[in-house]
Amino acid sequence: MKLSKNTYQYILTVFLSCLLLWLGWMSIKNEAHLFQNTSGSDSEEALCRVLEITDDDQTISNLGDMYYLEQRIEFDAEILRGPHKGEIISAEQLIDNVSTLGVQPVEAGDKLFVYSPADGTDGVWSAGDFYRSGQIALLLGFFCLALLLFGQKKGFNTMLSLAFTCGAVFLVFVPSILAGRNPYLWSCLICLYIIGMTLALVSGFSRKSLASALGCSGGVLVAGLMTVLCSHTMKLTGFLDDDSLYVYLMNPDQPIDLKAIIFVANIIGALGATMDVAMSLSSSLHELSEQAPNISFTEMFRSGIRIGQDIMGTMANTLVLAYIGSSLSTVLLFVSYQASLLQLLNRELIIVELLQALSGSIGILFTIPISAFVSSVLYRKHKENLPV
């Protein structure tokens, strides 16, 4: 059976995407330090299912003006995974109103992780986090099913591009940072990979994909430049919270550049929104060129700007609301404890969140004229080597 040109291009895109991911992983896997147990504990982790609650005891004691509540839950559980699979163990869960505030008590039938006694004896195991990835897997399955039902072939291509994007971030980019590679360079390479791979899978090798890729790249570049400029002028350090300090201290001999992490977070956060705007504009102008083949370059460019004006409001809101939602707990805490609004707005953590939202929004604004201009140039050429 003879395959079409589009099929060959699709197979080539998938092959090159897999090849680039494999080459990226092979180049850094020996230098990256992933999933190392640095706690110094000899405890063994196991997944178990709670069979029966054997004891539930609560004690209350006074600590000055406050009280200390401790709840000790003892239970029997069956190991579901690992060398102790099938064994029945005794475990306990300790909950108090200070260090484990908000932890839910275990119940029969729950799945959770438990840790063996540190001394290696046959003593009581300790309860850890609940097993939640199963529910996430179900939600992911529903998402994929909805993509296939509503998007069909496009939905499948979306799933595939999302899988490659996650692979690029978690199999290549994150290990590259842990391996001490330049975050600026590798983040730019990953962004170019994601842009090219996603648009090639969704729209194929076409002028529409090329226009979207150039418009998206231009918007991300503007967002990155704004981040670098503002990081320098505002004297940002990257030490936002305790997590930032731990990241910095992971490798004292070659510490991770925390200012570079701000840059990376900004351009990756802006990438999705700018790609959406670029594709929406290039697709709209492509349809316009098909329906009105005699439209001039100037008329098409003006149409692109008008379409972009309708897009920019919602896209800017998308970024701002996404960053506000992701840091809402921190904002509530700072609003409650800071002395004034001026002091709040000058905290580096808040400034970085605002910088991410504003630089991404500026990137979206510049994506609109860039995409409109590139699309107008490409679509008005009567002879083009790339198929539409």
Residue 174 within any structural domain of the chain = yes
What pLDDT does residue 141 have? Answer: 92
CA atoms of 116 and 42, how far apart (whole Å) = 9
What pLDDT does residue 381 have? Answer: 66
Residues 251 and 331 in one domain: yes
Residues 67 and 161 in one domain: no
At residue 329 the predicted structure's pLDDT band, cuts being 50, 70 and 90, is confident
Residues 189 and 336 in one domain: yes
Residue 13 within any structural domain of the chain = no
From 94, 115, 136, the end of a domain falls on: 115
What share of the chain in percent tops pLDDT 90? 28
Average pLDDT along the chain: 84
Segment 98-125 mean pLDDT: 80
What pLDDT does residue 291 have? Answer: 85
What share of the chain in percent tops pLDDT 70? 90
Residues 84 and 179 in one domain: no
Residues 95 and 166 in one domain: no
CA atoms of 93 and 114, how far apart (whole Å) = 9
Domain count, the chain: 2
Residues 57 and 180 in one domain: no
Segment 379-385 mean pLDDT: 58
Residues 160 and 55 in one domain: no
Segment 84-105 mean pLDDT: 83
Residues 80 and 216 in one domain: no
CATH code at 49? 2.40.50
At residue 140 the predicted structure's pLDDT band, cuts being 50, 70 and 90, is very high
Residue 361 within any structural domain of the chain = yes
Residue 335 within any structural domain of the chain = yes
What pLDDT does residue 385 have? Answer: 45
Residues 99 and 163 in one domain: no
What domain range includes position 290? Answer: 153-379
What pLDDT does residue 383 have? Answer: 40
Residue 54 within any structural domain of the chain = yes
Residues 108 and 227 in one domain: no
Residue 367 within any structural domain of the chain = yes
Cα dist. 327→184, 313, 321, 357 in Å? 24, 22, 10, 12
At residue 295 the predicted structure's pLDDT band, cuts being 50, 70 and 90, is confident
Phi and psi dihedrals of 255, rounded to 5?
A: -65, 150
What pLDDT does residue 344 have? Answer: 73
Judged against a pLDDT cut of 60, whether residue 192 lies above it is answered with yes
From 115, 145, 170, the end of a domain falls on: 115
Residue 218 within any structural domain of the chain = yes
Residues 174 and 276 in one domain: yes
Residues 92 and 175 in one domain: no
Segment 299-314 mean pLDDT: 86
Segment 133-161 mean pLDDT: 90
Residue 147 within any structural domain of the chain = no
From 115, 144, 175, the end of a domain falls on: 115
